[in-house]
């Protein structure tokens, strides 16, 4: 068992007892057998038990756009390919089908919670709730019309309706999700700050993703994006700043001082050549760190185990230090660090008495998984999502011996291929968007 809290600890021959949705005991296997002699038991002698992984930044409807536009820089990728494709196909059905496909992929990879950022949050939340999947659903804000909303007031009004609908839901929470400083006005950011304070909601935003973003902000606003957000009162413990590839030492210190969480998406940053987040410098400064995959249009998968390995290796290269971002620290990013960013660290993120039973088992009985000298290192550096054997969310079984529970995989694949046909039928765009 890897409880995550205490940090870096591995307990051998341990077990958990679960009643309804919660962990009611954590002890050695023999102690729990003696304490609960008549309770059904599941034994995984070749498995490692962990808390479920938390994907701290996703655009999960975009699973249906996996591979639509590859090998392009961010702004070309967005403005000339992704946004036009979205405009042509986006709908509640597209969003629901994309999220359902993502849920199946995430469960097969040991992910039990996602921090979502996309349009039609009503359809997103309904799909997660229907499948019993834990999620923080972003309420989008952007300054141009989309199929979801025509103007700023409508984004806020419709988003707050979704927030009210899921208030108190056991698995679904909400956040504000302004797209980025370059697509959101000062007025909207000020409104978000006021409402986030009043409603105690996280603010989930792409920040300092590329060098061009910094240059444009200085030209248009006279300051770097993080300084602009600070001027607007948004650099605080509610902010989940995504990407953060362009940071000065002073900005790192500011994030640490204000309690900002950084959601690191190394594979997306690598694929789009956006830059390198100085994750080890952030860690040493005391910034809370979380890990995300980004969307399938820019990664192109939702594999959090693979993302941990990438995060560890890139951090070492960027820091020039082989000891940077050790395996326990990377695992914390994907579990308790992400839970803290979302404000749910009292519920999930570690195996502790009283927490929700979001649990996974990773099998270690395959050729690629032996020998196993250090369990945490084994998962981070040589683990694979195909080794995920069992998954529970709030005590409910979602993956059993590698098989999805209550999800029709054939129907999912058929729907995905149907959307592929619709997207392929759209007018083709050239290299410069013609």
What 3 state SS string does 294-328 have? CCCCCCCCCCHHHHHHHHHHHHHHHHCCCCCCCHH
Name the DSSP letter for residue 356: B
Mean pLDDT of the chain: 96
pLDDT at 430 over 70: no
Q: Quick check: 431 pLDDT over 60?
A: no
| Biggest CA-to-CA distance, the chain | 71
Determine the length of the chain: 434
How far is residue 427's CA from residue 161's CA, in Å, rounded to a whole number? 36
How would residue 73 be classed by pLDDT, with cut points 50, 70 and 90?
Answer: confident
User: Counting Cβ atoms within 10 Å, is residue 350 exposed (0-12), middle (13-18) or buried (19+)?
Assistant: buried
Phi, psi (rounded to 5 degrees) for 234: -105, -5
Mean of the pLDDT values across residues 67-82?
Answer: 90
Q: What is the mean pLDDT of residues 402-413?
A: 97
Average pLDDT over residues 219-247: 98
Q: Is the pLDDT of residue 286 over 50?
A: yes
Counting Cα atoms < 13 Å in the Cβ hemisphere of 8 gives 5
Whole-model pTM: value is 0.97
* pLDDT attached to residue 428: 75
Give me the domains of the chain, ranges plus CATH numbers.
Answer: 53-342 (3.20.20.140)
Of the pLDDT bands very low, low, confident and very high (cuts 50, 70, 90), residue 429 is low
The Cβ-side half-sphere exposure at 46, using a 13 Å CA radius, reads: 12
Q: What is the pLDDT of residue 432?
A: 38
pLDDT tens-digit profile of 151-184? 999 999 999 999 999 999 999 999 999 999 999 9
């Amino acid at each position: 068992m890897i409880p995550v809290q205490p940090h870096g600890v591995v307990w051998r021959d341990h077990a958990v007892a679960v009643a309804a949705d919660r962990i009611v005991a954590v002890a050695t296997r023999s102690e729990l057998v003696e304490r609960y002699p008549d309770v059904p038991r599941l034994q995984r002698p070749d498995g490692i038990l962990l808390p479920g992984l938390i994907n701290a930044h996703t655009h999960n409807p975009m699973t249906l756009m996996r591979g639509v536009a590859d090998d392009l820089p961010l702004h070309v990728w967005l403005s000339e390919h992704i946004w036009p494709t979205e405009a042509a196909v986006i709908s509640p059905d597209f969003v629901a089908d994309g999220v359902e496909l993502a849920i199946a992929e995430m469960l097969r990879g040991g992910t039990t919670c996602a921090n979502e950022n996309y349009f039609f949050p009503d359809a997103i939340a309904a799909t997660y709730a229907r499948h019993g999947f834990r999620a923080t659903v972003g309420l989008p804000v952007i300054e141009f019309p989309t199929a979801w909303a025509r103007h700023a007031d409508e984004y806020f009004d419709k988003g707050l309706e979704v927030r009210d609908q899921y208030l108190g839901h056991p698995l679904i929470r909400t956040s504000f999700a302004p797209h980025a400083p370059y697509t959101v006005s000062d007025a909207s950011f000020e409104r978000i700050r006021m409402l986030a304070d009043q409603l105690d909601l996280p603010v989930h935003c792409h920040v300092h993703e590329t060098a061009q973003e910094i240059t444009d902000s200085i030209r248009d606003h006279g300051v770097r994006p993080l300084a602009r957000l600070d001027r607007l009162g948004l650099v605080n413990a509610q902010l989940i700043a995504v990407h953060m590839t362009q940071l000065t030492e002073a900005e790192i210190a500011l994030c640490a001082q204000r309690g900002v969480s950084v959601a690191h998406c190394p594979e997306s940053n690598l694929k789009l050549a956006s830059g390198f987040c100085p994750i080890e410098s952030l860690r040493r400064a005391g910034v809370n760190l979380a890990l995300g995959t980004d969307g399938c249009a820019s990664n192109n998968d939702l594999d959090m185990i693979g993302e941990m390995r990438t995060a560890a290796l890139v951090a070492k290269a960027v820091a020039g230090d082989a000891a940077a971002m050790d395996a326990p620290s990377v695992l914390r990013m994907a579990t308790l660090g992400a839970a803290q960013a979302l404000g749910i660290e009292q519920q999930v993120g570690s195996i502790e008495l009283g927490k929700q039973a979001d649990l996974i088992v990773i099998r270690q009985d395959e050729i690629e998984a032996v020998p196993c000298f250090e369990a945490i290192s084994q998962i981070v550096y040589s683990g694979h999502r195909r080794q995920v054997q069992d998954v529970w969310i709030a005590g409910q079984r979602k993956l059993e011996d590698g098989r999805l529970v209550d999800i029709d995989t054939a129907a999912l694949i058929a729907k995905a291929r149907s959307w592929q046909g619709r997207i392929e039928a759209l007018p083709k765009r050239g290299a410069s968007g013609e």
